[in-house]
Amino acid sequence: MGNLNREALSLYLVTDRTLSLGQPLPEIVRGAVRGGTTMVQLREKSCDTREFVELGRALHEMLQPAGIPLIVNDRADIAQVIGAEGVHIGQHDMAYADARRLLGPEAIIGLSVENDEQARECRSFAGLDYIAASPVFATPTKTDTATALGLKGVQHLRQVVGPALPMVAIGGVNRTNIPAILRSGADGVAVVSAICSAPSPEAAARELGAAIKQAKP
């Protein structure tokens, strides 16, 4: 179990430079943080390792003073090298047990969960910090994802994993559907294009954050 504060999952930005409309990623993240983003995942699927490390270091230097955890998608080595707070793994990434053994008990480790079977399986993953129910709604961001869960799917995953495991929902999140998503049992939402593709990431984050605050009791 890493050092994850459940509140940090409220508004979780997952980066995607291919969707960032020409804005440099550090600028997007800076704006998102000003707007109230509570956690950031650096996801890079095609850049080389050197660039990934440099980008990760730049983001970590920005986020650490703000107390915002930086999570690296898939690459545990890059997380270690830059001193990131943890990794996010998908079902085709390293196995959870391998990632935990490698990174130790302090690291935050999150896992994408797309269906019932994966939700049942992750109940045995000692120390797992959070799951990302994925995708809630159909989304243009990822083309390799499973069928959309829908709100009922999120509710169901919450029942399967129990109340203790922190859970974010990702996929097609916007400020309109945030209240329903949170009512379905998610502790927060993860967004990609809602912030990365926004003309003002800061304003977008602020609007999403307001919707979250309003929805949470």
Which residues lie near a copy of itself (CB under 8 A)? 48-51, 53, 74-78, 80-81, 89, 91-95, 98, 101-102
Q: Tell me whether residue 144 or residue 163 sits nearer to a copy of itself (CB atom).
A: 144
Q: Whole-angstrom Cα distance, residue 65 to residue 13?
A: 17
Coil, strand or helix: which one is 213? helix
Contact, 191 vs 172, CB < 8 A? Answer: no
Q: Which amino acid is residue 103, in one-letter code?
A: L
Which residues are registered as beta bridge partners of 168?
132, 188
Q: Tell me whether residue 143 or residue 176 sits nearer to a copy of itself (CB atom).
A: 143
Q: Tell me whether residue 96 or residue 198 sits nearer to a copy of itself (CB atom).
A: 96
H or E segment to which residue 130 belongs: strand 130-133
Least distance (Å) from a copy of itself to the CB of residue 52? 9
Q: Whole-angstrom Cα distance, residue 91 to residue 43?
A: 15
Q: Tell me whether residue 48 or residue 67 sits nearer to a copy of itself (CB atom).
A: 48
